[in-house]
């Protein structure tokens, strides 16, 4: 699939060479995918209207026959794809550098990495590229590689990717059924009195006047549920483990801010004066990032059906912050 995308982009850059019809044999990675979604994926930058036009006109054929947009591809299908011109802005976009990330687990179905803070999971919203684009560059032989879920740019920890479409579909079913056990470490300002606390606050997504995506607690928002377990208490801070029972955008961050315990370093919902003080050079205690880390993920392996749990250690800067807090005296979360 990457090879086809490269061919399409090459035609867009070099029209003098003469566009060519592409014939693609569908592999396991696209088995079961709708043809319209397949075309939109391999021809990124092409307007949806154009993709549907070439489908309606019969320029796209499967096994020499016409199909409509709802046709689901099968492994072994031969797809005729006419010359497609991608938008000039897409063809001339900045080069995406290949990058590797610490691998926590990998087999023929899955890739699980430890994402560092400050790295977006995908391009968009002012970000030229992210983890997924860099991994595809680093693994040109990969016929399929897709994000199963997402992490905020400033959140570190476990990021799950699928190497087969069947794995992606199966894992998405687990997410929709709340069958994944997602756990995060968060260090918050203030003393959390409860050893275990349920937060059930509906969350509403909106955009600020400058287009920034935000979330707030609002009565007509989506039902959202997080469970917080106290791990360790310090004089002015508390280390929590958050269990996600639903997976809303910014859920942990907004729930904690609403409870009055903003996450250390959170630049959207946090205590901005405290963040500035902690990030000051030489500050003790000090930290220059948001303290939110996806540390454990449990799910059913989509290929074997066996339970699988993956863990990611706290990053050094978070460990160092806890050591600084510990020197001031810590109380057990129990």
Collapse the DSSP code of 105 into the 3-class scheme (helix H, G, I; strand E, B; otherwise coil) and give the result: strand
Write the burial class of residue 31 (CB in 10 Å: 0-12 exposed, 13-18 middle, 19+ buried). middle
Cis peptide before 285 (omega within 30 of 0): yes
Write the burial class of residue 281 (CB in 10 Å: 0-12 exposed, 13-18 middle, 19+ buried). exposed
Task: Exactly one of 77, 114, 152, 271 is catalytic; name it.
Answer: 152
User: Given its phi and psi angles, is residue 96 left (phi above 0), alpha (psi -120 to 50 degrees) or beta?
Assistant: beta
Q: How far is CA 214 from the centre of its chain?
A: 17
Collapse the DSSP code of 258 into the 3-class scheme (helix H, G, I; strand E, B; otherwise coil) and give the result: helix
Collapse the DSSP code of 206 into the 3-class scheme (helix H, G, I; strand E, B; otherwise coil) and give the result: strand
Q: How far is CA 102 from CA 73, 112, 116, 155, 279, in A?
A: 34, 9, 9, 15, 26
Q: Which residues of 51-66 are buried (b: 16+ CB within 10 A; e: fewer)?
A: beebbeeeebbbeeee
CA distance 186 to 232: 11
Q: How far is CA 279 from CA 189, 215, 253, in A?
A: 14, 25, 19
152 classed as catalytic = yes
CA distance 315 to 101: 13
Active site residues per annotation? 152
């Amino acid at each position: 699939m990457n090879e086809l995308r490269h061919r399409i982009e090459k035609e867009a850059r070099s029209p003098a060479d003469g566009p060519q019809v592409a014939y693609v044999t569908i592999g396991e990675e696209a088995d079961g995918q709708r043809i319209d979604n397949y075309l939109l994926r391999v021809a990124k930058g092409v307007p949806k209207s154009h993709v549907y036009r070439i489908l309606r006109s019969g320029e796209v054929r499967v096994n020499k026959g016409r199909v409509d947009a709802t046709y689901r591809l099968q492994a072994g299908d031969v797809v005729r794809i006419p010359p497609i011109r991608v938008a000039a802005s897409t063809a001339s976009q900045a080069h995406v550098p290949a990058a590797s990330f610490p691998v926590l687990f990998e087999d023929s179905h899955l890739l699980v990495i430890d994402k560092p803070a400050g790295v977006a999971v995908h391009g968009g919203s002012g970000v030229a590229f992210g983890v997924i684009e860099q991994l595809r560059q680093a693994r040109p032989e990969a016929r399929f590689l897709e994000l199963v879920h997402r992490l905020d740019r400033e959140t570190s920890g476990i990021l799950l990717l699928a190497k087969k479409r069947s794995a992606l579909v199966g894992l998405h079913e687990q997410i929709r059924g709340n069958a994944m056990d997602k756990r995060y470490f968060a260090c918050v300002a203030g003393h959390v009195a409860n050893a275990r606390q349920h937060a059930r606050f509906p969350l509403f997504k909106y955009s600020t006047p400058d287009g920034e995506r935000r979330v707030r607690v609002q009565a007509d928002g989506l039902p959202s549920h997080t469970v917080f377990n106290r791990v360790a208490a310090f004089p002015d801070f508390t280390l929590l483990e958050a269990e996600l029972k639903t997976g809303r955008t910014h859920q942990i961050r907004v729930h904690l801010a609403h409870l009055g315990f903003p996450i250390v370093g959170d630049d959207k919902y946090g205590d901005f004066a405290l963040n500035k003080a902690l990030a000051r050079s030489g500050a003790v205690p000090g930290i220059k990032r948001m303290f939110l880390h996806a540390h454990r993920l449990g799910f059913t392996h989509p290929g074997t059906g066996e339970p699988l749990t993956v863990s990611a250690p706290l990053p050094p800067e978070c460990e160092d912050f806890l050591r600084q807090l510990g020197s001031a005296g810590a109380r057990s979360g129990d």
